[in-house]
Structure 1
């Protein structure tokens, strides 16, 4: 049974302004701020949240005022929020508000398993291929050595009680958190279709000067942010590559993984609509593909036309 919605978990507003037709909250690309959108007849209008509160005398300390503040924070994690929606979990307990598949958990658990086993020999190994991970994890020798690793790690951490079970529980908890990183890694891999598509587009339109120049500009604009995303994953992998260190600073590493998860998710969120467009169109000369190119150019010019300082680049690891 689902719990009864309440204001600690749901966007339950009191003011009647939030009952207008088509009411929803989104991040406005043009204004670069959170807005409420609604229908005025057949036309969709929008108003900034601060102006909305001023116009309708919504006290920031009131329930509605606090929920409006929560809306602005929540739009970092979801594309839109409607009255009655649940508050993103990231704002409630730090867990993710989006789902991952079982295969993402299996990959994360497999990598941790390999790290534990190779740690016994004094040199940890990172395996990226899901197929290779599955083969190694299912090997009977691996399963035996995992039990040995549990015992040795428990001794190193000086755990009391059912120490080996505590180690196993921590590994499962880490795998659950890292499964979101694996899901994001899969999601980010779709960016390469855009890069490859722009390479092909450059060849397709090589004799059309204006469009060709725009494609070159898109290639230039897209390279730094995509490279930055790849570096972020490398940073996560480097920090989570030593299993004993992760288990020693367990709580701090859980916090670190969640911070990286949220930052990566927020970085990829604006790309999702662009990636969906590229996956839905054939890369061939014609109006549909040119429309996607135009939309991509607008997105890149709006988002990455100026140098940006990436917050994750200087994020300190747990200590």
Structure 2
């Protein structure tokens, strides 16, 4: 199907630089793991060079207040949401209108809509319930009695909120909008569940290499380092569920809760993003005594030591909700 005429990229939505330095071969912006800061990388002959983002203006005589200078600041913020930015790329949606710059599947929306549906129906009986299982959600939502009670809930909620006009339609619209925002939380919940494979894999590794002292000690160290961040993520999801667990409050303070969900979405996304470095390896490698598995363990040890060392400060979930 034809998409019609697409608008031309402009500097309010794209990283369109003017300075010639941004046209050099291989120019891109990434987060440097070694320097722990955003950098610009480019090819200098056959060698890959990099310049710290906060030094680009000084190095290449760019006015920090110019449009290029402002875009450089935007790059630093954008790298919280994407792994790499190249000149000409679209500015992440999070920095433009607050929406997400990444996609979710239809099933994530259906799960989120199912949770809200269950909350509405159980609210009618005076005891709201949070259902986690997608299979259980589908059974409840498809029940004819549930559908009838949803219409009843729309009427009662519209009356409680004193909405004017087509009040029931407004409630339904808010439910759909909330489900759309919460679908990103469900997608992140699915990604976070994969960390369970790392936890179980380390337990298997401890058993497999129990007679190899040096490797066993490293595995114990990995278990120690991985426990706080994984537990932290679980607490963050529990925090979101608790904050979004009362359907009437969610709908009454609609705009405020949309803002909260988006802030938690970005917080969870940024927290999970570094884990992509090792999760793919854990999913594609069998937990058995082998060089391949030992390579995954070595990579995981380096990742955990670099990101979650006890000597390094990193945020925990025990803080006020945004």
Residue 311 of structure 1, CA deviation: 5.9
Residue 38 of structure 1, CA deviation: 1.1
Which region of structure 1 is more displaced relative to structure 2, 154-163 or 288-297? Answer: 288-297
Residue 203 of structure 1, CA deviation: 1.2
CA RMSD of aligned residues (A): 1.2
The correspondence of residues 30-179 of structure 1 with structure 2, limited to 5 A, is 30-179=34-183
Q: Which residue pairs with 1:10 in the alignment?
A: 14
TM-score by length of 1: 0.97
Distance in 2 between residues matched to 1:212 and 1:193, nearest whole Å? 18
| C-alpha contact 2:232 2:316 (8 A) present in aligned 1 | no
Q: Which residue pairs with 2:233 in the alignment?
A: 229
Distance in 2 between residues matched to 1:168 and 1:308, nearest whole Å? 44
Residue 174 of structure 1, CA deviation: 0.2
Aligned residues: 317
Residue segments in structure 2 that go unaligned for 5+ positions in a row: none
Q: Give the secondary structure class of the aligned counterpart of 2:318.
A: helix
- Deviation string, structure 1 residues 268-304 (Cα, Å, up to 9, x no partner): 0000121011112222222221111111111101111
Distance in 2 between residues matched to 1:117 and 1:42, nearest whole Å? 64
Distance in 1 between residues matched to 2:56 and 2:290, nearest whole Å? 43
| C-alpha contact 1:9 1:87 (8 A) present in aligned 2 | yes
Residue 221 of structure 1, CA deviation: 0.1
| C-alpha contact 1:263 1:312 (8 A) present in aligned 2 | no
Q: Give the secondary structure class of the aligned counterpart of 2:64.
A: coil
- Deviation string, structure 1 residues 214-248 (Cα, Å, up to 9, x no partner): 01100000000000000000000001111001001
Q: Which residue pairs with 1:314 in the alignment?
A: 319
Distance in 2 between residues matched to 1:120 and 1:262, nearest whole Å? 32
Distance in 2 between residues matched to 1:212 and 1:229, nearest whole Å? 26
Moved over 3 A (4+): none
